[in-house]
Structure formats: C-alpha cells, structure tokens
Amino acid sequence: MSGLRTVLGGSGLLAVALGSVTGCEQGGLSPSAAQGRQVYLAHCATCHGPDPAQPGPLGPPIKGSSRTLLEAKVLRQTYPPGYTPKRPTQVMPPLPALAGDIPALADYLK
C-alpha cells in the first residue's frame, strides 16, 4: 500500500479527490441519498426513467414514495394496506436483493 499512497499523495488527498468528484456528480445530495440515486439509476431507471419525478418508459413517477411503499413494492410486489396503486398492473418484478438499499432509495426519492 505504501507505493499507492506515494502515487496519490497520501490517503487524505485521495479522500478529498473522491469527495469533490461525488459532490459534483450528485448535486449536493446527502451520502445516503447519493447512494440511493446510484441504486435507482442501476435498477429502476430502465423502467421508471432517469428522473423519478417523471413517468418512465414503463413505470409511473415514483418521486415521494415512502419507505413503507418501497419495501412493499420493491421487496414483495405488494402495496401497503390501504394504498391506492398508481397503476392496476403487476408488471414490475420484485427485487428482494435490494432490501439493504431501501433506506437509501427512500432518502433519494423523498
């Protein structure tokens, strides 16, 4: 590791460099929301579009979705009790592997 540190000028500089890259890309999002954005772009944007506030090619806008709604829909392909879905269809597949990313997704979408 000492060779790498020399090249990068120490871990402090590396941290600063990474910080400025993400800061620029994420437009001032909190770390959790920024992570949620990455998850959204990787797993949801195909159907919901790049902007969660707009309808996507397949899915409805999901900006403002609560954590409870995300858990139900993304993990279990259901809706919270009493919730009226935006669409009557069941096109979206459940993505239970994303259980650990739900809090970040909720932070990004709120």
Binding to ligand HEC in span 48-87, by CB under 6 A: 48, 58-60, 62, 65, 69-70, 73-74, 85-87
CA-based torsion, 52, 55, 59, 63: positive or negative: positive
Q: How far is CA 48 from CA 19, 20, 29, 82, 104, in A?
A: 28, 28, 20, 23, 17
Which residue of 53, 90, 97, 99 would you call a contact of ligand HEC, by CB under 6 A? 90
Which residue of 46, 51, 63, 99 would you call a contact of ligand HEC, by CB under 6 A? 46
Q: Are 53 and 34 in contact (CB under 8 A)?
A: no
Instruction: Please give the residue ranges that form the binding site for ligand HEC (CB under 6 A).
Output: 43-44, 46-48, 58-60, 62, 65, 69-70, 73-74, 85-87, 89-93, 95, 98, 105
